[in-house]
Amino acid sequence: MKKKNIQDTVEEKIDIDEKLAEFDTSSNVRKMAGIFGTIITIVAIAMSGFHLWTASFGILLAMKQRATHLFFVFLLGFLLYPATKKSSRTKIPFYDLIFTGAGMAVTGYILFFYEELVRRGGRPTSLDIFMGILAIVLVLEITRRSIGPELPIIALVFIGYVFAGPYLPGALGHRGYSLARIVNQLYMTTEGIFGTPLGVSATFVFMFILFGSFLEVTGVGQFFIDVAFAAAGHRKGGPAKAAVLASGFMGSISGSSIANTVTTGAFTIPLMKKVGYNKNFAGAVEAAASTGGQILPPIMGAAAFIMSEFTSIPYIRIVASAFVPALLYYLGVIIMVHLEASKQNLEGIPKEELPEFKGTFKMGFHLLLPLIGVVVFLIRFSPLRAALLSILLAIGVSLVRKHTRIKPMAILNAMEDGAKKAVGVAAACACAGIIVGIVTLTGLGLTFANLIISLAGGMLLPTLFLTMIASIILGMGLPTTAKYIVLATMAAPALVELGVPLIAAHLFILYFGVIADVTPPVALAAYAGAGIAGGDSFKTGIQALKLGSAGFIIPFIFATSPGLLLIDVTVFKAVISILTACVGVLAFASAVQGYFITHTKIYERIFFLAAALSLINPNILIDIIGFVLLALAVFSQISRNKKLKAAPLG
């Protein structure tokens, strides 16, 4: 009997909104009814309408486009996000109305007096300075409310650095700048709040977030889950394998590891527990799979679009280079899941309790066309136009069949949802712009890069290691877009200085910034998974770290040998590199899990680990050594397994 969808087999009922609010600051929003609820809906739809209009007929001048974008962020953000977790979720206090008005004033000031500000160029008046200071305060506050205090604190440290510079010793010192110069840099130019990060948010990042919302209303998310369980749910450890597949695809679209862990995990985690997975491991599988979605093409969350703008590398080129490392990451996760199921002899869900694959795929395969379309559009058009065409395609394909046809109200709901989801990203970009503006003003980026290189003795591997540590530490409390912007400004120049290709340097910091979500002690995605599974947060974090541990090796490989990024490599060499790397990931997973055909001995784990490190590195001689070591480990496993089976019971 074919089931309608996999939700029918889920016995545990989980309040997704409650769990999201617990672990994800950006989901801690007011639930307004009445006149304010209507106002919020209208503003959100108007924000999406503005971006759809400019994507269709041409964006405004950079400063005006970004100021209008931030105008909506302030207006929507202060109405949506309460000042504290204890604040009312059903009432808007008077001071938030004041914040809203102030936000409209500082952005409206840019829009209405743009020509005068341009003519004054670098000579701000007292009113300009007041508005600039107010804008900085408002950006810090809306960022604190929407994504948490970590990024505003970092921004305040950088602001403090501007004033403390004349008193600092050595390379960190600078001559100092007047308040007027600082405010002019951060508020009246495209080098601060209205800089590149907000510029990217105000154009194609918003449009791809909106695209994700339109995909959701078409039902593609449930389709991913149903197809994943239909394909893998009945196999050994099936629910965990299905979770990896479904969460990977959903994570690429959503761009948030925490949100994806909670929403997809509400279905997958109870099913993993049902077949016998430990609750800590079940939460870890969902966290590791959801986190990897941010490095999985074709969408890769929002950070990849900002990377394209920062590096001037076409987005489709970044997608192509990111494909193989993402494949290796997910291959590592799914192999470890299989080995864990083999160790515990965990079976899948009976086929009669799952959707039937052929029928499920036939009912919803057309929903995949927008995802295929977005890749084609990115090859031929700009990201902004590609996002617009993808949204139109998503609406169009939903109308093809009656059971997926969306109504006009669903279109408005998608517009409202997309705008609300964009507030946290836009706030993070505006706040990160403060950091970038100060780095540009003081030259701190070059100073920091020189300090890293000096500390590492001018050697590449130690520099990569220090950059990894910095990326993970910064990534522990920041959303992906914010962590990437900070790291791209501060850490990437050091790698480029030592000869790492530009795209490899930026993907390196992105990968480790993302992996921070499953790296204790602050593994936010793992904590969310533990919350859904009812497990221990720290133990779930350790398990998630093990599952995603291939992600700690792969960036070092493509930073030192960029063939895995398909840079300057022949087709033959690329195929060989990918195949050997895949075998290397298999060996690495066996070493980490302590299991291949049977439980490993210490020397076998050493062989597996050495083979993995050799095979992932794309070098023919080293690959041969790796295959020899792997053959020794596999032969030992086969021999011991035969003896174990032949041994008399008892």
Model pLDDT for residues 519-534, shown as the tens digit of each residue: 888 788 888 889 888 8
Kindly tell me the sign of the dihedral angle through the C-alpha atoms of 98, 44, 390, 525: positive
Task: Convert the pLDDT of each residue in 624-639 to its tens digit.
Answer: 999 999 999 999 999 9
3 or 69, which is more confident?
69
Tally of domains in the chain: 2
Task: Convert the pLDDT of each residue in 444-459 to its tens digit.
Answer: 887 888 888 888 888 8
Q: Both tokens of residue 345?
A: 């002899």
- Residue 92 placed within a domain: yes
- Residue 115 placed within a domain: yes
pLDDT at 88: 81
**Mean pLDDT on 248-257:** 74
- Residue 62 placed within a domain: yes
Alpha-carbon gap, residue 225 to 267, rounded angstroms: 9
32 within 8 A of 184, measured Cβ to Cβ: no
Alpha-carbon gap, residue 37 to 59, rounded angstroms: 29
**Mean pLDDT on 15-30:** 66
pLDDT at 3: 46
Q: What is the 3-state secondary structure (H, E, C) of 452-498?
A: HHHHCCCCHHHHHHHHHHHHHHHHCCCCHHHHHHHHHHHCHHHHHHC
pLDDT at 266: 83
- Residue 432 placed within a domain: no
Q: What is the 3-state secondary structure (H, E, C) of 562-626?
A: HHHHCCCCCHHHHHHHHHHHHHHHHHHHHHHHCECCCECCHHHHHHHHHHHHHHHCCCHHHHHHH
- Residue 373 placed within a domain: no
561 or 321, which is more confident?
321
Does residue 206 surpass a pLDDT of 90? yes
Selection from 103, 63, 66, 65 nearest residue 81 by Cα: 103
Task: Convert the pLDDT of each residue in 31-62 to its tens digit.
Answer: 888 899 999 999 999 999 999 999 999 999 99
38 within 8 A of 385, measured Cβ to Cβ: no
Q: Could you say which of 168, 201, 234 is where a domain stops? A: 201
First to last CA, the chain: 43
Task: Supply the range of the domain harboring residue 180.
Answer: 6-201
Q: Which 3 state secondary structure label does DSSP give 195?
A: coil
What is the torsion angle, in degrees rounded to the nearest 10, for the CA atoms of residue 67, residue 72, residue 74 and residue 80? -160
Q: Could you say which of 201, 232, 253 is where a domain stops? A: 201
Strand stretches in 95-221, DSSP E: none
Does residue 580 surpass a pLDDT of 60? yes
Q: Residue type for 593, please?
A: Q
Selection from 358, 250, 378, 236 nearest residue 315 by Cα: 378
Average pLDDT of the chain?
87
pLDDT at 636: 94
pLDDT at 6: 61
pTM: 0.86
- Residue 365 placed within a domain: no
pLDDT at 2: 44
Alpha-carbon gap, residue 348 to 330, rounded angstroms: 20
pLDDT at 47: 98
Q: Phi first, then psi: what are they for 595, rounded to 5°?
A: -155, 140
Confidence of residue 393 (pLDDT cuts 50, 70, 90): very high
pLDDT at 8: 61
316 within 8 A of 297, measured Cβ to Cβ: no
Percent residues over pLDDT 70 in the chain: 94
Task: Convert the pLDDT of each residue in 127-181 to its tens digit.
Answer: 999 999 999 999 999 999 998 898 999 999 999 999 998 888 877 888 889 999 9
144: Cα separation from own chain's centroid: 19
DSSP 397: H
237 within 8 A of 340, measured Cβ to Cβ: yes
| Residue 562: cis peptide before it, omega within 30 degrees of 0 | no
Alpha-carbon gap, residue 256 to 423, rounded angstroms: 13
Does residue 236 surpass a pLDDT of 50? yes
Q: Could you say which of 182, 201, 220 is where a domain stops? A: 201
- Residue 17 placed within a domain: yes
pLDDT at 365: 87
Alpha-carbon gap, residue 130 to 180, rounded angstroms: 10
509 within 8 A of 469, measured Cβ to Cβ: no
- Residue 507 placed within a domain: no
Min mean pLDDT across 22-26, 125-129, 161-165, 476-480 is at: 22-26
Task: Convert the pLDDT of each residue in 332-380 to its tens digit.
Answer: 999 999 998 888 888 888 888 888 888 888 888 888 899 889 889 988 8
